[in-house]
Amino acid sequence: MNESPVRWVRERLGYEPRDPGLFGAALTHRSAPGPNNERLEFLGDAVLNLVIARHLYRMFPDASEGDLSRLRARVVSGEPLAEVAAGLGLGDALQLGSGELKTGGFRRQSILADALEAVCGALFLDGGLAAAERVIERLFEARIAALPAPAALKDAKTRLQEHLQSRGLSLPRYSVDGIEGEAHAQTFRVICDVPDLGRRAEGRGSTRRRAEQAAAERILLELPP
């Protein structure tokens, strides 16, 4: 570990720890000796989700539950968490076992994301929810500001379903029309059939779900604005 936990917390998070041991554990992977961050990760996941959910609830007063869930996933899923952690130089403060060090664990997305959640748990235990909220909102401010409109996050199948339901029409039917390629590199062909509109379209993808999404997208493109 190149940087002490307390120094990292002070300089990167702008927070003065009361219990340095909490942050030492938060920045210790289970592969290293001593208290590690697994329990703090569990707690921090809940804290992070609560803080971001409350922020989005206030920011998007007309968004549905599904919209809010999709927006939250854009902020607190593994990839964005790892990117925020990397931007904070969290890997430089992370204590890893020798095996993880040799394999570059301090750059691994899952390890960085988990450690950031653990830090959020430590913030909550050390300073309470208000202190954790101040730090979390500052860390994710730019990502939240860059979120698209809620409707833009809906996948093609959801958008097609809502389009049909709003007009009292029957839901689309999806059927696999064929599977091509070897087991490790298959391509699915799926037909999306919308009888009430007299439309059907084919979609292709590496999984059935992706093929269904592609077929639904083609139907949507054919619909009048």
Q: Is the pLDDT of residue 17 over 60?
A: yes
Q: For residue 169, give the DSSP letter.
A: P
Q: Which tokens in the block code for residue 95?
A: 């204590």
- Which strand (E) or helix (H) includes residue 47? helix 38-59
Report the run of H or E that residue 59 belongs to, with start and end: helix 38-59
Which of 174, 162, 163, 224 shows the shortest CA–CA distance to 201?
Answer: 174
What digits encode the pLDDT tens for the residues 113-126? 999 999 999 999 99
- Annotated catalytic residues are 45, 117
**Which residues touch 186 (CB under 8 Å, ≥6 apart)?**
179, 180, 206
Reduce the DSSP state of residue 199 to 3 states and report it: strand
The CATH number given to 5-148 is: 1.10.1520.10
* pLDDT higher than threshold 70 for residue 53: yes
- What are the structural domain ranges in the chain? 5-148, 156-222
Task: Select 156-222's CATH number: 3.40.50.450, 3.30.160.20, 3.40.50.10490, 3.40.50.970.
Answer: 3.30.160.20
Q: What is the pLDDT of residue 1?
A: 46
Q: Would the pTM of this model clear 0.85, i.e. be above it?
A: no
- Contact between 48 and 123 under an 8 Å Cβ cutoff? The reply is no
pLDDT at 105 (0 to 100): 67
